[in-house]
Amino acid sequence: MPAGLEHERFRLRMLTIHDVVKDFAAILERVEPDGSPVPSDGLTLEQNLVDLGWHQKEFELRRSFAYTVMSPDESVCLGCVYLYATDGAAARVHMWVRRSAWEEGLDPVLEQAVRAWVAETWPFETVAYPGRE
């Protein structure tokens, strides 16, 4: 599994519990690809920490792969990318960005970069991008 992806506008790397504060701030601003807000449904920082611990463990066990989308200097979480293997040859990829990143046009840039990265780096024969097809 690839460690991540370096891009001039972002850094993609494994999401860990150490990202909880920055990730939580991004979740509260999460938007759909069309810019409409995604409700956080009362998520707390503690609940987010538990969720990040689960994502981190799944990554370590190579079951699913959650990547944080960070600004190049790591000061701001811009969103997340999740890869879920559905069987040995197929995967689903979900991604989102926070409102400020969407307003700066990051969503299509991230999607294009992730699609190329998955096609070039990951061993999947088929990849679905639910909500983006």
- Domain range summary for the chain, segments of one domain joined by +: 4-128
pLDDT of residue 89: 75
pLDDT of residue 1: 72
pLDDT of residue 88: 67
d(CA 9, CA 131): 23
| Closest among 15, 32, 41, 21 to 98, alpha carbons compared | 32
| Closest among 52, 60, 1 to 27, alpha carbons compared | 52
pLDDT of residue 6: 96
Instruction: Report residue 116 as tokens.
Output: 């190329």
pTM of this structure: 0.94
Which class is domain 4-128? alpha beta
Q: What is the pLDDT along the chain (133 residues), one digit of tens a residue?
A: 788 999 999 999 999 999 999 999 999 999 999 999 999 999 999 999 999 999 999 999 999 999 999 999 999 999 999 999 887 679 999 999 999 999 999 999 999 999 999 999 998 999 999 998 7
Please list, in sequence order, all residues whose beta carbon lies within 8 angstroms of the beta carbon of residue 46, skipping any fewer than 6 positions away: none
CA angle 102, 29, 15 (to 5 degrees): 90
pLDDT of residue 61: 93
Instruction: Report residue 123 as tokens.
Output: 């061993």
pLDDT of residue 123: 86
Instruction: Report residue 118 as tokens.
Output: 């998955």
d(CA 101, CA 29): 10
